[in-house]
């Protein structure tokens, strides 16, 4: 801050604003979620759904009924499992009928999905035909929102820009005529009467604008324009 002593009240306030802003961002900022690993296979969890068109439901149901590691039926769906010992089982794939001619096969990892596809196509032969595969990261916003809906909760909505603008307008509405300790308990309008006070007010305004740019960078949304504060005080924003 050119022309401002580091031990001055203004310097302390600007530094305090930046420290508080950084601290708040560290608490509220987005952190990357950890990679999720399947406990039984040690493979990365990648939710995989294979879509098939079924040409012969009776043949498919008969084939699945003969498999010792498959339980279920068309109405409730099938589960392919692996014995874990001690009467415990773990699902390898779930097969769900969708509509008149569609089947979805879900696996929790890509490796399980590849193995299940080979297994199913080898058994079913012409009773079904592969269509497409969908892969989802369990950490993605889409999956997290779907999980929230399944629990009866809605993902928090971002604050609308118009609401934020209203709040910021109220916050800074009387700023030009409010005594500020960093300006020697003068109002910004009073402080701009001297060259030193003018520089101090400009530095303070720029610190506010930098904080707003960081907010937009880290949280998204539209930046709040503080240009009206410059205009109220007759200051040139470009200098």
48-90: per-residue pLDDT in tens?
Answer: 999 999 999 999 999 999 999 999 999 999 999 988 777 778 8
pLDDT at residue 137, rounded to an integer: 84
Beta-carbon contacts of 44 under 8 Å, excluding residues fewer than 6 positions away, are 35, 36, 37, 38, 109, 110
Confidence of residue 236 (pLDDT cuts 50, 70, 90): confident
- Under CATH, what is the fold of the domain 45-138? Alpha-Beta Plaits (3.30.70)
pLDDT digit string, tens, across residues 195-234: 998 888 888 888 888 877 877 776 677 777 888 888 888 8
Examine the pLDDT at 91 and tell me if it is beyond 60: yes
What is the rounded distance in angstroms from the CA atom of residue 63 to the CA atom of residue 127? 10
What is the rounded distance in angstroms from the CA atom of residue 225 to the CA atom of residue 223? 6
pLDDT at residue 1, rounded to an integer: 46
Residue extents of the structural domains in the chain: 9-31+158-232, 45-138
What is the rounded distance in angstroms from the CA atom of residue 179 to the CA atom of residue 157? 36
Mean predicted lDDT score pLDDT of the chain: 80
Q: What are phi and psi of 51, to 5 degrees?
A: -110, 130
| CA 117 vs CA 42, 70, 120, 132: distances in Å | 20, 15, 5, 11
Contact at 8 Å (CB) between 104 and 98? Answer: yes
pLDDT digit string, tens, across residues 123-145: 999 999 999 999 888 877 776 67
List, in sequence order, every residue forming a beta bridge with 98; answer none if it has no partner: 102
Examine the pLDDT at 117 and tell me if it is beyond 70: yes
What is the rounded distance in angstroms from the CA atom of residue 96 to the CA atom of residue 153? 25
**Range with the lowest mean pLDDT among 1-15, 162-176, 180-194?**
1-15
């Amino acid at each position: 801050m050119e022309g401002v002593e580091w031990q001055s009240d203004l310097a302390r306030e600007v530094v305090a604003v930046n420290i508080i802003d950084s601290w708040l961002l560290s608490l509220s900022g987005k952190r990357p979620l950890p990679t999720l690993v399947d406990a039984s296979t040690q493979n990365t969890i990648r939710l995989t759904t294979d879509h098939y068109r079924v040409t012969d439901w009776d043949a498919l149901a008969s084939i699945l009924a003969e498999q010792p590691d498959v339980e279920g039926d068309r109405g409730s769906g099938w589960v392919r499992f692996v014995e874990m010992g001690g009467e415990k089982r773990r699902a390898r794939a779930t097969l769900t009928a969708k509509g008149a001619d569609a089947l979805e096969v879900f696996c929790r990892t890509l490796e399980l999905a590849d193995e299940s596809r080979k297994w199913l196509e080898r058994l079913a032969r012409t009773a079904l035909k592969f269509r497409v595969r969908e892969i989802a990261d369990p950490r993605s916003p889409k999956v997290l929102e779907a999980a929230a809906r399944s629990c009866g909760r809605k993902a928090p909505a971002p604050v609308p820009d118009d609401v934020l603008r209203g709040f910021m307008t109220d916050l800074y509405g009387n700023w030009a005529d409010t005594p500020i300790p960093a300006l020697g308990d003068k109002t910004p309008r009073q402080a701009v009467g001297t060259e030193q006070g003018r520089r101090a007010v400009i530095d303070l305004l720029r610190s506010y604008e930098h904080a707003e740019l960081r907010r937009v960078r880290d949280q998204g949304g539209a930046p709040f324009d503080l240009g009206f504060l410059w205009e109220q005080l007759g200051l040139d924003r470009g200098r």
